[in-house]
Every structure is written in C-alpha cells, then in structure tokens.
Amino acid sequence: MTDTPGKSHGRKAIRPTLKPRELMSPTPDLHGVWKAKIITLFPSAFPGVLGESLTGKALQEGLWQMETVDLRQFGVGKHRNVDDTPAGGGAGMVLRADVLGDAIEHTMAGIQGNWPLIYLSPRGRRMDQQMMQNLARCDGMTLLCGRFEGVDERVLEHYGIQEVSLGDFVMTGGEIAAQALIDATVRLIPGVLGNQASAEEESFSSGLLEHPQYTRPAEWNGRPIPDVLMSGHHGKIAEWRHEMSEQITRKRRPDLWDSFLKSNENQKG
C-alpha cells in the first residue's frame, strides 16, 4: 500500500519542485525511507529527469527522498571559491580539500546505518546492475559531483570515498552520472515500478541481456510479431525469451556471456 499523494500518514510528505531555492533547502527526513544526498555546484540540476515519470511519482509519494547540498556555500573568501590550481602545475582547476571536507561533514552529520559516500569519477568502478541492487539495499547514499580536473586526492583517502564511473569517457561534471546512478537504483526500491516483475525480468538481472520486446500492431512494415509470442503457451514463450537472451548476450556482450557461463558452472559445482 502506498500513501495518497499529499497526505502524510505519520510521515511528512515531500514533493519534487522546479524551484532551485527550494531544492537547496534542507529536506525533512522520512523515517526508514531510502535517500540520496547530492553535493553539487549545480543544485538546480536536480531532480531533473528524476522528477518525471515513475521516479518522480515515487518521490512525490515518499518512496524515496532526495536532498541537494550546494557546494558553493562552503566556498572560501568573498567570492566563495571552491577550487584552485593543481599542485605541481598543469591545466584546469581542482576542488579544494577544505571546501569539500566542510561540505561532506555537513552532509554526513547524523547519518547512521549503511550509507556509502560516492564520488562520480571516470577512474572509478563502472556502474552495473549488481552495484545498483546493492545500493538499493542501503539506507541511502551521498554522491559527490566533481567538476573541473577533479577533487583533492586527500579527501578521497580521508573519507574512504568510493569512486564510481558511468563509463569509459570523460564528462564536464558528475551531475548527469549522479542522476543515472540514482535512477538505476531508485527503480529497484519496492513499489517504485509498481510491477516488481519488470525489474526482475529486464537486462542484467539474470546475468543476460533482455530478450526482444513486441507490441501492437501484430504486423508492421511486413514484419510480424514472432508466432510463439502469439501462441498463448507460456512455457514456450519463456523458453523462447531465454534463448533469445542467450543469443543476444553471446553476440553483443561476450564478456557478460563468459561471466554467465562461469556462474552456471560454479552453481553446478
């Protein structure tokens, strides 16, 4: 059962908003609800796409929470500087250790339970479905969105920050990667998708890529829906879908296919 939007039922209801100043204000905690905290120079970038569709509806209903922390407010001096030139020389700017330390201390104050601190970085571990499943089982997570040439290494070492990457490429900042990480995690929280089977049957959940999907019309541009899907025979449909998942994975992602085979061998052993 989910709460009716706008009613609290013992918990304070919150809603995503398009007003940056409201997003920058402290968000009241809902007891026992998974929460994402984002340290960023661009708090108005959130919730962004996370405020739309199923994730936005779930945010309105209090199935998950989000709080942005404006890094600029911890800046140094009259102009709230957050960065400086790299030690040893080089191009670009680096986010200062003292600024980041103050922001992290503020953001993590009072946090209890399983709550990872993550820095979105191209040198981090690449995101995958297993990571999202693990994060969805946490109490929440704090994401540090980098800019410029990155952050002072001492901050990563001092706080034991996990580095996570969206992929093997470089972006101008971590905000888009943070939204991707949150989206992929939040959709695994019970009640967000509505039909939990959707999360269980999709790509990567079984170690394989998802099978092809079809819908109306039954024939389009001379291409009919495969007969087996129209047969009504659920056993044959399940078998066909599994075979297609194997074929697609073997062809497109040999790395996943090898892992899938090794996993099956270990289970048999």
Could you report the per-residue pLDDT of 170-213, keeping only the tens digit for each? 999 999 999 999 999 999 999 999 876 565 666 676 889 999 99
Strand 162-165 with 223-224, pairing:
unpaired
Whether 84 has a pLDDT exceeding 80, the answer reads yes
Q: Give yes or no for a cis peptide into 28 (omega within 30° of 0).
A: no
Q: What's the confidence (pLDDT) of residue 183?
A: 98
Distance CA 42, CA 20 (A): 9
The residue assigned the tokens 């405020």 is 51
- Which residues fall within 8 angstroms of residue 206, CB to CB, at 6 or more apart? 245
Q: Taking Cα atoms as reference points, which of 165, 35, 168, 174 lies closest to residue 107?
A: 35
In a 3-state reduction of DSSP, which class is residue 70? strand
- Binding-site annotation: residue ranges: 146, 166-171
Q: Model pTM?
A: 0.83
Distance CA 183, CA 116 (A): 16
Rg (CA), the chain: 22
| Domain annotation for the chain: domains and CATH numbers | 20-186 (3.40.1280.10), 205-268 (1.10.1270.20)
- Binding-site annotation: residue ranges for S-adenosyl-L-methionine: 146, 166-171
Give 147's strand partners: 173
Distance CA 237, CA 232 (A): 8
Q: 35 near 68, Cβ under 8 Å?
A: no
Could you report the per-residue pLDDT of 29-71, keeping only the tens digit for each? 788 999 999 999 999 999 999 999 999 999 999 999 999 999 9
Q: 53 near 59, Cβ under 8 Å?
A: no
Distance CA 152, CA 71 (A): 14
Distance CA 55, CA 164 (A): 22
Whether 10 has a pLDDT exceeding 70, the answer reads no
What dihedral angle (degrees, nearest 10) is formed by the CA atoms of 192, 194, 196, 202? -80
> What would the mean pLDDT of 11-36 be, rounded to a whole number?
58
Per-residue burial over 131-158, b if 16 or more Cβ lie within 10 Å, else e, is bbeebbeeebbbbbbbbbebbbeebbee
In a 3-state reduction of DSSP, which class is residue 68? strand
Could you report the per-residue pLDDT of 131-182, keeping only the tens digit for each? 999 999 999 999 999 998 999 999 999 999 999 999 999 999 999 999 999 9
* Other CB atoms within 10 Å distance of the CB of residue 161: 20
Backbone angles phi, psi at 254, to 5 degrees: -55, -25
> What would the mean pLDDT of 8-27 be, rounded to a whole number?
42
The residue assigned the tokens 């970085």 is 121
In a 3-state reduction of DSSP, which class is residue 125? strand
Distance CA 244, CA 29 (A): 44
Give 76's strand partners: 81
